[in-house]
Every structure is written in C-alpha cells, then in structure tokens.
Amino acid sequence: MMRPARSPLKYRKPDHYLQPIGWLFADLLLMLAMLFLIASTGYFPKPQLATPAKKSVTPSAAITTPTSPVQESLDFNPVEFNINVDYVTLLSDHPQSAIADIQKQVKQQKRLWRRHAALVLAFGGASSTDQITTADEVSAAVYHALQGLGTTPEITVAPGVTISFWNTRYYKSSLHDVEPDLDLSIVELVIYCFSQTNS
C-alpha cells in the first residue's frame, strides 16, 4: 500500500510590519561602514593652522618650544535629539520660516555648543508605512536646512559660544523611523562631532 504524497509546505508571508526591518538593518550597516571608512581614511580636511608672524631675535635669546598641532578625530558618541518640523511649510515652495525654525532648534542644543559637526543623520518620523515617502522627503529637506548653517566656519549662538557645521557631511540616503507615536512633524537628528585631540 502506497502512502499518499506529502503536500509541499505552504509559504507563509511575513507580517507587513516586519518587511522594512531588513532594509533598516542594511541602511544601518551601510552607515556604520561609512563612519569607519571616513574615520580611518582621514576623509575630513585637517584644520589650517595660522602661521605666527616671524620676529627677528638674536640667536642667544631664541627659545624653541615644541608645538603640538591639533588634529580632529571623530567622536563616536553622537548627539541625539528630536526637532519639531512644520513639514507642510518645509515641503512647500516657500520654506524659509520652517528652515529658520529648524536652524534655531539646532543652535539651542547646548550639547553642540563649542563643537564641530562632522556627520549628520536625519530620521523622518512616520506613524505608518504609508508615510515613509513623505518622511524621507522631510529628512532630505532638513539636510538642506542644516546645510545653511555651514556657510561660515563658525556660528555664534551665545556670547562667547560658537558651533560649527563647516564641511559637515550629510547621510543623504532615505532614513526614517516608523512608530505609532511618531508623525511627520518629528525628525530625529543624530550628529557625530569631531573630538579635539593633541598629537
């Protein structure tokens, strides 16, 4: 007596909310690879040191003191915070007020004071997968707003306090967070800064 042939196992489709997880890990892996590549290859320009004016001194009075140039390395402890974004205005043809508000919120972050931003990641907030495309557009517009802070080497944010977005890099791939308590008006910023070390 022959046994009936077993029916092949049916393919079970994963739940729809698990599908973006693979892409999220792929993006995060790519981001980490970029960070290590940038940190190890010296991709960031070294600061230009001012050459002091030469003084004429007699050989007997000449004193030589060793100087240590300042080198910038990447601090792998990022500054993370959320900003509120008027995304309707930001994505419109006249986004100036929304851009100014984004820049103001960033300049108020005291953890960025006296720091030089090296790499910026912006995660657009979305409450469902239907909002991912718009969340990506919002994060791209936030990058554009932050690039406006890099037009000068330093920006004064308080008396005697500056921040710098000069030569800052922006991770311009699509980054977003999908959580029920998020919406398009919330953007998470992850900012890696330079750490000053003497060599």
What domains, with CATH codes, occur in the chain?
70-198 (3.30.1330)
Query: What does each C-alpha distance from 45 to 48, 73, 117, 169 come to in angstroms?
Result: 9, 11, 13, 11
pLDDT, greater one: 103 or 73: 103
- Mean pLDDT lowest for which of 10-19, 77-86, 148-157? 10-19
- Whether 19 shows a pLDDT value over 90: the answer reads no
Quote the Cα angle for 166-168-171, to 5°.
160
Q: Is residue 134 within 8 Å of residue 185, measured between CB atoms? A: no
Average pLDDT along the chain:
80
Burial class of residue 116 (count of CB atoms within 10 Å of its CB; 0-12, 13-18, 19+): buried
What does the alpha-carbon distance between residue 176 and residue 160 come to, in Å, rounded to a whole number? 36
- Mean pLDDT lowest for which of 17-26, 103-112, 163-172? 17-26
Q: Per-residue pLDDT tens for 160-194? A: 999 999 999 998 787 888 999 899 999 999 999 99
CA 126 to chain centre: 19
